[in-house]
Structure 1
Amino acid sequence: MLMSGAAMADPGDVILEVTGRIADGPAALDRAMLQTLPSVTITTSTVVTDGVHAFSGVLMRDLLDSLDAQGDQVMAIALNEYAVDIPMSDFYDYDVIIASAMDGKALTRDDKGPLWIVYPRDDHEALQDIRYDYRWVWQLSRLDVR
């Protein structure tokens, strides 16, 4: 698991809250906690940026597994309260990441950060469907496992 007991960062440093069906109750994670998981990079285009970019972060399935998440879907919620339900199967069928950097630069709130759910859209024709585009939550702040 990511942390023993409830994972809690200093409130001022929290960049992601995870609630719902996870072991040991809600988790409040900072950048350092996320960096304890293996980092991956995927290269893909997006519908909101020009060209192809390299996104670095952690696999969503690694994060959820580290928290012993049990559920069928995850509600992803952005800083502006945009929310979308994502089937848990997406994270096991595809290498979906929670990106914290694009092209080697840390994502900021001014540029879709600090966290952005990114799908490897160029690797799978199925992911080029609009229903997946809605699941690319930028300025991700919360996950609720259901």
Structure 2
Amino acid sequence: MFQRLFLTAVLTPFLLIATASAEDLPAPMGRVILTVSGNIGVTNADGAAEFDLAMLDALPQTRFTTETIWTDKAAEYSGVELSALLEAVDADGSQLLMTALNDYAIDVPASEAVSGGPILATRVDGHPLSVRDKGPVWVIYPFDDKPAYKTEITYSRSIWQLKSIEVED
């Protein structure tokens, strides 16, 4: 009896900690459109954080109007800042391996994730981005607000149809 009580007293805190970390981020209710993995502290799946559109919408939103080299005119893009997403999953790394639905992949320095920097756009002019329109998630930089972003390097990091981000050392 004493041994059972002792084990219960010792193991219960560890079980509560494990349960709490699994509940830090709710499970997606809809279709998963973005998975963040690697060096993250907040998960809702096996070593990853999976997001549906509603979960991304629940994070702080940013919007700006900009032209891109891929579109005919300026449009308003809205979504969560990359920096806010990384903060939400407690990311700790220096590189972000971003991969698109078509398996295009690009390494992006984590230092790009700054306030006023790129967003994970889920809407253009208030409408959800479809796969046909470079969605459901498109990394967009505020090109018109910060002309320094108008470089081939930044254009290559403006990955559309983003499906995953792996946070690496």
| TM-score by shorter chain over 0.5 | yes
Q: What percent of counterpart residues are identical?
A: 40
CA contact (8 A) 1:14 1:31 kept: yes
1:34 partner SS: helix
Aligned to 1:9: 28
Aligned to 1:33: 55
CA contact (8 A) 1:7 1:27 kept: no
Q: TM-score, normalised by structure 2?
A: 0.79
Q: How does 1:1-146 map to 2 (within 5 A)?
A: 4-5=23-24, 8-10=27-29, 13-24=31-42, 25-92=47-114, 94-146=116-168
The offset of 1:135, in angstroms, is 0.5
Q: TM-score, normalised by structure 1?
A: 0.91
2:90 partner SS: coil
The offset of 1:28, in angstroms, is 1.1
For structure 1, list consecutive stretches of 5 or more residues without a partner in the other structure: none
Richer in helix (by share): 2
CA contact (8 A) 2:135 2:160 kept: yes
Measure, in 2, the Cα distance between the counterparts of 1:79 and 1:7.
24
The offset of 1:9, in angstroms, is 2.0
Measure, in 2, the Cα distance between the counterparts of 1:54 and 1:35.
16
Measure, in 1, the Cα distance between the counterparts of 2:137 and 2:99.
11
Richer in strand (by share): 1
1:122 partner SS: coil
Measure, in 2, the Cα distance between the counterparts of 1:6 and 1:51.
37
* Number of aligned residues: 143
For structure 2, list consecutive stretches of 5 or more residues without a partner in the other structure: 1-21
Q: Which structure's relative contact order is higher, taking Cα pairs within 8 Å and 6+ residues apart?
A: 1
Aligned to 2:19: none
